[in-house]
């Protein structure tokens, strides 16, 4: 691998200094094999690695970069803000500006609290739900990802039991048992669980557009059933909008479905490429948070002025550019071109999309709506395809079960390039 020498060298150094060579597991290319690319810089819809190779990027840093890389206005704001001081540990104007912006875009919220990641947002929302209801049980769905907090690293138990099992070493069994796990797209199981345990449930947390295990699109009726069940039981409904927030509509999936959650969590886009998360709800619920209430939650770098400014600049540009209309148009174009490009191939595939989020499943029987219906062998078909695309300068997430993103920086030409390269790569790898 002489052509890959800088990436290889860096990965060798990284593996000595950092577990697995990465600071977030999926970056290590574990599911696809090979040496990850070390990215030196971004330019709109493109990234460039340490060896100077350019890639057309459909990962967008896993979701935050809805404007593409290095949007000049965002970069300018970040540079100007940083020059004034990067952190104070005291309130700053940018926090108020971003909070007001978020509330104006997401009507279900009357107050919002900023943290530094999506994981922190969901962890804090769960604590708030427990504190506000005085109940301990939470319900999550198999196939949804909510970050790496202990009570959310939980998988379905065996057999009929809904009590969760730790999905990571280091999560106590007793703790995981407080998380009940349901399958997506199954109203009957949700109803049965609420009939049995409803009065002990603090909250149901769901990605209303599950986008961490493929794109497992839910029927609106299913989400409405969860809204009704939680309300009747006095439990809270938490929409984890870390991916969908500000991407599928100004008001996220809540706006798209017309369903109002009690709490919502954000990350990714809200920081405009810098580390920001947030959670919010009604004033009455948020009054439980310290210093007003007894639910403790804090952060040295929370509401960081540079990160707030990057988030605010991003949201302003999205509004000004009527981004959601444009992204839907580009998404529709991509869908049309990909479907046409793959029409003749022999490999099984399906295409799912919500606005600028899309996923190609390489399995028979159409796009699944629950994690249980995911074909675990799709990963094997994906590996050679991934490397072929990478070789040809197309960067997609290194896993068969990750979604792809369009940004405002992608052009119709980029979309045609993608569709063409995809067809060639699928054909090249199907024959092998
Ligand atoms: C990415 C993600 C998280 C975790 O956010 P981090 O910033 O990675 O901690 C939580 N929920 C969903 C839906 C996500 O996609």
Instruction: Answer yes or no: is the C-beta of 244 below 6 A from any ligand 1 atom.
Output: no
* CA 145–ligand 1 middle distance (angstroms): 7
Atom of ligand 1 nearest to the CA of 240: 13
Q: Which atom of ligand 1 is nearest to the CA of 120?
A: 9
Half-sphere exposure of 239 (CA within 13 A, CB side): 27
pLDDT along the chain (432 residues), means of 10: 79 98 96 97 98 98 98 98 98 98 97 98 98 98 96 80 87 94 97 97 98 97 98 98 98 98 98 98 98 98 98 98 98 98 92 97 86 88 95 97 97 98 94 59
Token digits of residue 143:
């196939």
The pLDDT assigned to 336 comes to 98
* Neighbouring-strand partners of residue 394: 56
- The answer, yes or no, to whether any atom of ligand 1 lies below 6 A from the CB of 243, is yes
Please name the residues in contact with 431: beta carbons below 8 A apart, sequence gap of 6 or more.
none
Q: Do residues 115 and 147 make contact, with C-beta atoms less than 8 angstroms apart?
A: no
- 165 CA distance to ligand 1 centroid (A)? 20
Active site residues: 145, 240, 268
Token pair listed for 36: 């990850």
DSSP state of 38: P
Q: Is the pTM of this model over 0.95?
A: yes
Helix 305-320 to helix 93-105 angle (10° resolution) is 40
Q: Give 242 Cα–ligand 1 centroid separation in angstroms.
A: 6
The CB of 242 under 6 Å from ligand 1? The reply is yes
Q: Is 241 in the pocket of ligand 1 (CB under 6 A)?
A: no
Distance CA 263, CA 202 (A): 12
The full DSSP string for 139-188 is: EEEET----S-GGGSEE--STT--B-EESSTTS-HHHHTTEEEEETT-HH
Residue 270 near residue 277, CB atoms below 8 Å: yes
Q: What is the pLDDT of residue 4?
A: 65
Class of 72-320 in CATH: alpha beta
212 CA: nearest ligand 1 atom: 15
Q: Contact 272/279 with Cβ under 8 angstroms? A: no
Alpha-carbon gap, residue 74 to 72, rounded angstroms: 6
Per DSSP, the residues of 192-209 read HHHHHHGGGEEEEEE-SS
Ligand 1, residue 62: give the atom nearest the CA: 1
- Write out the two tokens for 351: 């295409």
Is there an atom of ligand 1 within 6 Å of 214 CB? no
pLDDT of residue 2: 47
Ligand 1 neighbour 245 (Cβ under 6 A): no
The CATH number of domain 7-70+322-431, selected from 3.90.1150.10, 3.40.50.720, 1.10.10.10, 3.30.920.30? 3.90.1150.10
> Which atom of ligand 1 lies nearest, measured to the CA of 207?
13
Q: Output the residue whose Cα is nearest ligand 1's atom 14.
A: 242
Please name which of 1, 67, 76 lies closest in space to residue 35, comparing C-alpha atoms: 1
Six-digit token pair at 347?
């490999």
The Cα 294–Cα 103 span in angstroms is 23
Ligand 1 within 6 A of 146 CB?
A: yes
55-76 burial by CB neighbour count: b if 16+ within 10 A, else e?
Answer: bbbbbbebbbbbbbbebeebee
The secondary structure of residue 46, as a DSSP letter, is E
Ligand 1 centroid from CA 176, angstroms: 19
Helix (H) or strand (E) holding 239: strand 236-240
Q: Which residues of 317-349 are buried (b: 16+ CB within 10 A; e: fewer)?
A: bbeeeebbeebbebbebbbebbeebbeeeeeeb
Query: In the chain, where are the structural domains located?
Result: 7-70+322-431, 72-320
Question: Is the beta carbon of 147 within 6 A of some atom in ligand 1?
Answer: yes
Q: Give φ, ψ of 336 to 5 degrees.
A: -60, -45
């Amino acid at each position: 691998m002489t052509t890959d020498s800088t990436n290889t060298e860096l990965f060798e150094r990284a593996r000595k200094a950092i577990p697995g060579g990465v600071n977030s597991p999926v970056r290590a290319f574990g599911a696809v094999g090979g040496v990850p690319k070390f990215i030196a810089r971004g330019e709109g819809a493109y990234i460039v690695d340490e060896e100077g190779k350019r890639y057309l990027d459909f990962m967008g840093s896993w979701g935050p970069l809805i404007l593409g890389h290095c949007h000049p206005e965002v970069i300018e704001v970040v540079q100007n803000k940083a020059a004034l001081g990067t952190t104070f540990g005291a309130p700053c104007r940018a926090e108020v500006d971003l909070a007001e912006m978020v509330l104006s875009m997401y009507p279900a919220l009357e107050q919002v609290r900023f943290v530094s990641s999506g994981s922190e947002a969901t962890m804090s929302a769960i604590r708030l739900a427990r504190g506000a209801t005085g109940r301990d049980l939470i319900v999550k769905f198999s196939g949804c990802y909510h970050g790496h907090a202990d009570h959310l690293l939980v998988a379905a138990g065996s057999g009929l039991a809904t009590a969760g099992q730790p999905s990571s070493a280091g999560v106590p069994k007793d703790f995981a048992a407080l998380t009940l796990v349901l399958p997506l797209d199954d109203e009957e199981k949700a109803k049965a669980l609420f009939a049995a345990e409803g009065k002990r449930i603090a909250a149901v947390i769901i990605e209303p557009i599950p986008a961490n295990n493929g794109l497992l699109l839910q029927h609106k009726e299913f989400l409405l059933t969860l809204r009704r069940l939680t309300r009747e039981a006095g439990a809270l409904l938490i929409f984890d909008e870390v991916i969908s927030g500000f991407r599928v509509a100004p008001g996220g999936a809540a706006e798209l479905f017309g369903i109002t959650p009690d709490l919502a969590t954000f990350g990714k886009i809200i920081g405009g490429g810098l580390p920001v998360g947030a959670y919010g709800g009604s004033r009455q619920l948020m009054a439980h948070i310290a210093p007003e209430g007894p639910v403790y939650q804090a952060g040295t770098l929370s509401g960081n002025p540079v990160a707030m400014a990057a988030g605010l600049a991003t949201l302003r540009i999205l509004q000004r550019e009527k981004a959601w209309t444009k992204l839907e148009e580009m998404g529709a174009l991509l869908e049309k071109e990909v479907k046409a490009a793959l029409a003749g191939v022999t490999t099984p595939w399906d295409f799912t999309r919500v606005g600028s989020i899309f996923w190609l499943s390489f399995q028979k029987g159409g796009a699944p709506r629950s994690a249980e219906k995911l074909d675990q062998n799709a990963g094997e078909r994906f590996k050679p395809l991934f490397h072929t695309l990478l070789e040809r300068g197309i960067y997609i997430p290194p896993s068969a079960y990750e979604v792809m993103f369009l940004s405002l920086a992608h052009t119709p030409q980029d979309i045609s390039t993608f569709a063409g390269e995809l067809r060639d790569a699928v054909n090249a790898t199907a024959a092998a």
